[in-house]
Amino acid sequence: MTKYHVTHTEKAFTTHFDLPSHVFQQSIASDTFHDLDEVLASQLAKNQRPWWVSPLEINHPTCEINWENIHRFDGRESLHTIHSLAKYIGGIQAVYDSINSGHRALLSEIRHSRLTLFRQALIEGSRIKPYFAKTFLGREHAETSSAYREPITWQGTPEENLGILTAAARYFGAYTIGTMELNSLERKLLFTYPRGNNNPPAKYGKTKATTNDFTHDWPPPNDIIKPIVFEDVTRAYESANRYVIPKKKLWIVSIMMPPIRSTHENSSIWGPRYYDNSYRTHTAVQTCLQDFLRAIGYQGMGYMDDTQGLLPAAAAAILSGLAEVTRNNNYCFCPKPQNNSSYFSMITDLPLAPTGPIDSGVFRYCHTCFKCATVCPSGAISNHSEASWEPPTFEGMSNEYTVPGKKLFFNKTHLCKKHSLEQSSECNLCLATCPFCSSLLNIPRSF
């Protein structure tokens, strides 16, 4: 009889995790996993990087970082809020003028578009929202089979845990994940407040207040837009006026959703549907992962609603090596499958081996490639030959939407934002022009 390496059989393993055994068989049809070693040895549990990608030291991606100068960012100051954007583009009325102009542009595009029936149907299908919402800690009171058995706390090595979480995330619909530790240094990546411009989760009833409701009466109260705080507790919790993260060793999980081609398209009608798609499918991935983690005795701290995470998703993607920084701050390059993808993040207390940042050569290439900067109609992308430690200032104004401490080609993102509002979506010419932004799913033009 064949002997396998660990005592966890497939049956015991999948029983522990409340998962059907085919979870670990989906990517390689012919595989049958007899034990944990086989799961971990399979492609489902691995992130195989192309040969031309070099691993880098933890916390040392290709853009230099000075952690001394990095501070926690108040997400309410991001350019997604009217309060913040108004400071840089000429006041609150200028923001509304841009939004109105965008509505007119969208109507005009709809009137004159010759979208095929196939595309119209995809757009309609993309609009649907899941029947459950993302929440900070997931379905904490959801009934699972753990209600009928002794609760367990899974004990695996950080490498094993990375393997099973990668396999589970892929099973639930993610393309893949990257991981990094969340120590006192990396805590600086967490927002002090989420940006708060989306509706609160349904559990707060009919309250629809957002950051934008307080543009004239700043700041919003803490029971509407809650701060993210660290406390000496063992488990994360959410109260009426804060999201609480335990002051203990934690890990950041960067979640990459499958990329599709439409993100490169300059269309107010079609382009944003890509984002709808990834945000919608991420809802299931996050909620399933939170349930998965809970079933093995751990917590997943995730997006508190559709679009608001605990830290910038691009930072997690770059520091965990899913992607590399580029000249264009709107875009981080993923070497596999060579695309601009949608990234999300989660925090967990499941110990995970860090996947580490990467050097694919793209940031070096960006130093002599100016294609995105040249094509950008708003002048948002830097055309400098060298990256800088100094975020740009605008007509003497301080730049409150950029956190220093990174040596980058800093975008003037408010210019992109204004242009995007005026035409109702990002033009994405920068992505369409980038030689590294190829397509994975080519939706045929002829449909």
Cβ atoms 174, 285 nearer than 8 A? yes
Q: Rule CB under 6 A: is residue 63 a binding residue for ligand SF4?
A: no
Q: Rule CB under 6 A: is residue 326 a binding residue for ligand SF4?
A: yes
Cβ atoms 300, 336 nearer than 8 A? no
| Options 25, 166, 378, 402; binder of ligand SF4; rule CB under 6 A | 378
Q: Rule CB under 6 A: is residue 330 a binding residue for ligand SF4?
A: yes
Q: Binding segment for ligand SF4 among 25-33, 302-310, 323-331, 400-408 (CB under 6 A)? A: 323-331
Reduced to 3 states, what is the DSSP secondary structure of residue 242? strand
State the nearest-atom distance from the C-beta of 431 to ligand SF4, in Å: 7
| Lookup result for tokens 């660990």 | 6
Reduced to 3 states, what is the DSSP secondary structure of residue 239? strand
| Options 369, 400, 407, 422; binder of ligand SF4; rule CB under 6 A | 369
- Cβ neighbors of 345 (< 8 A, separation 6 or more) are 252, 253, 254, 255, 302, 309, 310, 311, 313, 316
Q: Quick check: bond before 337 cis, omega within 30? A: yes
Nearest residue (CB) to ligand SF4, 284 versus 375: 375
Nearest residue (CB) to ligand SF4, 295 versus 427: 427
Burial class (CB in 10 A: 0-12, 13-18, 19+), 188: middle
Helix-strand-coil split of the chain, %, nearest 5:
35, 10, 55
State the nearest-atom distance from the C-beta of 111 to ligand SF4, in Å: 23
| Options 371, 400, 422, 439; binder of ligand SF4; rule CB under 6 A | 371
Q: Binding segment for ligand SF4 among 27-35, 44-52, 76-84, 376-384 (CB under 6 A)? A: 376-384
The string of DSSP letters for 178-204 reads EEEEE-TTGGGGS-SB----SPPPGGG
Q: Binding segment for ligand SF4 among 27-35, 84-92, 249-257, 430-438 (CB under 6 A)? A: 430-438
Q: Rule CB under 6 A: is residue 430 a binding residue for ligand SF4?
A: yes
Q: Rule CB under 6 A: is residue 380 a binding residue for ligand SF4?
A: yes
410: closest CA among 389, 430, 441?
389
Nearest residue (CB) to ligand SF4, 288 versus 317: 317
Q: 406: which 2 tokens?
A: 């990174």
313: closest CA among 352, 279, 350?
279
| Options 169, 323, 419, 421; binder of ligand SF4; rule CB under 6 A | 419
State the nearest-atom distance from the C-beta of 174 to ligand SF4, in Å: 24
| Options 225, 366, 408, 421; binder of ligand SF4; rule CB under 6 A | 366
| Whole-angstrom distance, CA of residue 331 vs CA of residue 375 | 15
Give the amino acid at 388: S
Q: Rule CB under 6 A: is residue 167 a binding residue for ligand SF4?
A: no
- Phi then psi for residue 314, to 5 deg, are -65, -40
Nearest residue (CB) to ligand SF4, 120 versus 374: 374
State the nearest-atom distance from the C-beta of 150 to ligand SF4, in Å: 52
Q: Rule CB under 6 A: is residue 416 a binding residue for ligand SF4?
A: yes
| Whole-angstrom distance, CA of residue 96 vs CA of residue 82 | 9
Q: Rule CB under 6 A: is residue 425 a binding residue for ligand SF4?
A: no
| Whole-angstrom distance, CA of residue 336 vs CA of residue 356 | 15
Nearest residue (CB) to ligand SF4, 291 versus 359: 359
Residues that bind ligand SF4 (CB under 6 A): 326-328, 330, 365-366, 369-372, 376-378, 380-381, 416, 419, 426-430, 433-436
